[in-house]
Chain A
Amino acid sequence: GALVYQYPRRTICKSGTSMRMECQAVGFQATSVAWYRQSPQKTFELIALSTVNSAIKYEQNFTQEKFPISHPNLSFSSMTVLNAYLEDRGLYLCGARDLDWGYYAEQFFGPGTRLTVL
């Protein structure tokens, strides 16, 4: 079946430092990968969306300079949170879809990386 792994599951970093998190889609062809941040209040914010053959699109309030993303292919994606501060804490979720199914495409999520900033 389709699975999305994320690691680490939890991480703690000091204010002003950076941390990298990874996402791996297994069991299906990921043609779209989205990174989200879920706040302590549980609302979702889309950080960026990567699709096959397109540049990574960052949402308003999120920049490549702050959240650089790299992926040799969309089955493996990593995102770094640079110069993390308190407002960056939350659960970072990776969601992957096979867009060959169009809007029928279910989004498969990993368990998330929980970032705590001290």
Chain B
Amino acid sequence: QQKVQQSPESLSVPEGGMASLNCTSSDRNFQYFWWYRQHSGEGPKALMSIFSDGDKKEGRFTAHLNKASLHVSLHIRDSQPSDSALYFCAASNSGTYQRFGTGTKLQVVP
């Protein structure tokens, strides 16, 4: 069973719209979250991290973490065609492991 679940599997938003991605960890030992983005033909690159309850904003990207439910979301405001990519959530433990989620494919339509 996949221990880091993401939804939706794919998402299409108009340019300028808001994209919302979700991620849940099923293991309380893995409660520190990262969002990674992977463009076609490249390796994943870290977008942002969130370790505490509440919101964290970086430019057009806002992450929200609820530690009680181990649910994290990523919201992309004013989506651009360049935001079209695969988005992965990764849950870290306090040690060496990062577990990656199933991924969400985002397409921003001009």
Residues in A lying within 8 Å of B, measured CB to CB: 4, 6, 32, 34, 36, 42-44, 46, 49, 51, 93, 95, 97, 99, 102-104, 106-112
A interface secondary structure, majority:
strand
A107 in contact with B96 given A43-B102, A43-B103 (CB within 8 Å) = no
Bits for B12-52, please: 1 = Cβ < 8 Å to A, else 0.
00000000000000000000101010000111111001010
Contact check, A49 vs B97: say whether CB atoms are below 8 A apart.
Answer: yes
Contact check, B96 vs A99: say whether CB atoms are below 8 A apart.
Answer: yes
A-B contacts besides A4-B43, A107-B36, 18 pairs, CB < 8 Å: A36-B100, A42-B103, A42-B105, A44-B103, A95-B44, A102-B94, A103-B32, A103-B51, A103-B93, A103-B94, A104-B51, A106-B46, A106-B49, A107-B90, A109-B44, A109-B45, A110-B43, A111-B42
Complex interface: chain A residues within 8 A of B99 (CB): 46
Is B92 interfacial (CB-CB < 8 Å)?
yes
* Closest CB in chain A relative to B62 CB, distance in Å: 19
Give how many B residues have a beta carbon under 8 Å from the other chain's beta carbons.
25
Contact check, B43 vs A93: say whether CB atoms are below 8 A apart.
Answer: yes
Complex interface: chain A residues within 8 A of B45 (CB): 109
Is B98 interfacial (CB-CB < 8 Å)?
yes
CA distance A110 to B42 in the complex (A): 8
* Closest CB in chain A relative to B44 CB, distance in Å: 5
Q: Closest 8 interchain pairs by CB?
A: A109-B43, A103-B32, A44-B100, A103-B92, A106-B46, A111-B43, A109-B44, A51-B96
Complex interface: chain B residues within 8 A of A36 (CB): 100
A44 in contact with B43 given A32-B96, A103-B51 (CB within 8 Å) = no
Interface centre among A4, A49, A95 (most CB of B within 10 A): A95
